[in-house]
């Protein structure tokens, strides 16, 4: 029974998932630092301090802190924007460039006749325009 459990843990899927979780947590810290240290101060410089935590409304002696919710929404949007523009867009560009390098150039379907310089099929043995023999 323990051997089966050990085999399960040592399979590639479980190890890959564990590595992905650790890397995701580390990447989350980087993205949060980017938003907190760069994007939020930039927005604060443009429109003032974006802190809504003090906003609330009281109904029947119940206090609704909708400001904290607004802070969470703004933070979510900023993190989404940061991930998209600083990770997804550059990575897509790099992947497109890498794919373009791997694609072989297309084989030509035509060639120029050495006599009249008109376009003829690659397989042609004689030019259709000047009737010269093409090697």
- The burial class, CB within 10 Å (0-12 / 13-18 / 19+), for 32 is middle
Instruction: Verify that 70 and 122 share a domain, yes or no.
Output: no
Q: Are 108 and 124 in contact (CB under 8 A)?
A: no
Which pLDDT tens digit goes with each residue over 41-50? 777 787 776 6
The domain total for the chain is 2
Judgement on whether residues 75 and 132 belong to the same structural domain of the protein? no
The whole domain housing 129 covers 107-135
Over residues 52-82, the pLDDT tens digits come to: 777 889 999 998 888 888 878 888 888 888 8
Q: What is the pTM of this model?
A: 0.52
């Amino acid at each position: 029974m323990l051997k089966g459990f050990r085999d399960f843990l040592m399979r590639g899927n479980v190890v890959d998932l564990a590595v992905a979780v650790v890397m995701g947590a580390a990447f989350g810290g980087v993205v949060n630092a980017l938003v907190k240290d760069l994007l939020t101060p930039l927005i604060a410089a443009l429109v003032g301090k974006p802190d809504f935590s003090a906003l609330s409304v009281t109904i029947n002696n119940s206090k609704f802190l909708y400001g904290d919710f607004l802070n969470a929404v703004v933070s979510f949007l900023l993190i989404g924007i940061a991930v998209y523009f600083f990770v997804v867009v550059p990575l897509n560009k790099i992947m497109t460039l890498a794919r373009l390098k791997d694609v072989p150039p297309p084989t030509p379907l035509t060639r120029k006749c050495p006599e009249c310089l008109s376009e003829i099929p690659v397989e042609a043995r004689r030019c259709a325009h000047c009737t010269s023999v093409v090697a």
